[in-house]
Amino acid sequence: MNIRFYNARILTMNGNCDLTEGELWTKDERIAYVGPAKDSENIAWDREIDCQGNVLMPGFKNAHTHSGMTAMRSYADDMPLQEWLNTKIFPLEAKMTEQDNYDLTQLAILEYLTTGVTSIFDMYLSPKDIAQACIDMGMRCVLVSGLNKFGPAVEEMENRYNKLNNMHPLITYMMGVHAEYTCDKKLLEEVSRLIHKYEAPVFAHMSETRLETVECVERYGMTPPQFFDSLGLFDFGGGGYHCVYFNEEDMDLFVKKGLYAVTNPGSNTKLASGIAPIGRFLEKGMQVAIGTDGPSSNNCLDMFREMFLVTGLAKLLQKDASAVDAHEVLKMATVNGAHAMGLKDADVLAEGKLADIIMIDLHQPNMQPLNNITKNIVYSGSKQNVKMTMINGRILYYNGEFLNGVDAERIYAKANEIIARLSAE
Close Cβ partners of 369 (under 8 Å, ≥ 6 residues apart): none
Chain-centroid distance, C-alpha 340: 9
Going residue by residue through the chain (425 aa), what tens digit of pLDDT does each one get? 999 999 999 999 999 999 999 999 999 999 999 999 998 888 999 999 999 999 999 999 999 999 999 999 998 888 877 787 888 888 999 999 999 999 999 999 999 999 999 999 999 999 999 999 999 999 999 999 999 999 899 999 999 999 999 999 999 999 999 999 999 999 999 999 999 999 999 999 999 999 999 999 999 999 999 999 999 999 999 999 999 999 999 999 999 999 999 999 999 999 999 999 999 999 999 999 999 999 999 999 999 999 999 999 999 999 999 999 999 999 999 999 999 999 999 999 999 999 999 999 999 999 999 999 999 999 999 999 999 999 999 999 999 999 999 999 999 999 999 999 998 86
Q: pTM of the full predicted structure?
A: 0.96
* CA 142 – CA 401 distance, rounded (Å): 25
Phi and psi torsions of 133, nearest 5° = -60, -40
Give CA separation, 216 vs 78, 184, 207, 220, 293, in Å. Answer: 26, 11, 9, 6, 22
Taking alpha carbons only, the member of 76, 114, 297, 302 closest to residue 205 is 297
The helix, strand and coil proportions of the chain, stated in percent and rounded to the nearest 5, come to 40, 25, 35
Per-residue pLDDT, 82: 79
Q: 274 in helix, strand or coil?
A: coil
* CA 102 – CA 125 distance, rounded (Å): 10
* CA 10 – CA 157 distance, rounded (Å): 41
The CATH classification number of 66-340 equals: 3.20.20.140
Length of the chain: 425
Under CATH, what is the fold of the domain 2-59+347-402? Urease, subunit C; domain 1 (2.30.40)
Domain boundaries, the chain: 2-59+347-402, 66-340
* CA 242 – CA 290 distance, rounded (Å): 9
Cis peptide before 224 (omega within 30 of 0): no
Burial class (CB in 10 A: 0-12, 13-18, 19+), 88: middle
Close Cβ partners of 300 (under 8 Å, ≥ 6 residues apart): 111, 266, 292
Give, as one character, the DSSP assignment of residue 335: I
What's at 329, amino acid-wise? V
User: In the beta sheet, which residues pair with residue 203?
Assistant: 176, 239
Per-residue pLDDT, 265: 98
Per-residue pLDDT, 425: 65
CB 301 within 8 A of CB 117: yes
CA atoms within 13 Å, Cβ hemisphere of 153: 3
* CA 123 – CA 108 distance, rounded (Å): 13
- Residue 142 host element (H or E): strand 140-144
Strand pairing report for 171-179 and 202-206: parallel
Chain-centroid distance, C-alpha 101: 18
